[in-house]
């Protein structure tokens, strides 16, 4: 997730989450995401990079996103050519 450097410009190192990430690495990552959310700044989340962390199939992740969040308010789908199906979390 090279994009994380833009998400966390003050971070000295950027952590990439995987299924083998430690509980502390996951906690730290999401604490930074929470900080961004509380600052009311938009930040990109690439669905292709994060769905395998929780779901067995990309389609399940997409359905859950659409069922639990409001399109164009909580997330925006971008054309695949623009950023590989990136979502901007608002």
Q: What is the pLDDT of residue 67?
A: 93
CA 46, 60, 37, 25 torsion-angle sign: negative
CB atoms within 10 A of CB 76: 14
Q: What is the pLDDT of residue 33?
A: 78
> Which run of H or E residues covers position 10?
none
Q: What is the pLDDT of residue 57?
A: 93
- Mean pLDDT, the chain cut into blocks of 10 residues (90 residues total): 45 63 85 83 78 89 91 80 50
69's CB contacts (< 8 A; 6+ apart) are 75
Q: Where are the beta strands (DSSP E) in the chain?
A: 43-46, 86-89
Residue 85 belongs to what domain range? 4-89
Q: What is the pLDDT of residue 3?
A: 44
């Amino acid at each position: 997730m090279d994009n994380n450097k833009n998400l966390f410009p003050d971070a000295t190192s950027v952590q990439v989450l995987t299924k083998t990430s430690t509980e502390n690495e996951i906690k730290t990552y999401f604490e930074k995401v929470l900080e961004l959310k509380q600052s009311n700044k938009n930040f990109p989340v690439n669905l292709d990079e994060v769905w395998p962390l929780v779901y067995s199939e990309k389609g399940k992740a997409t359905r859950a996103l659409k069922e639990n969040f409001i399109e164009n308010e909580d997330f925006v789908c971008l054309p695949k050519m623009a950023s590989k199906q990136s979502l901007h979390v608002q």
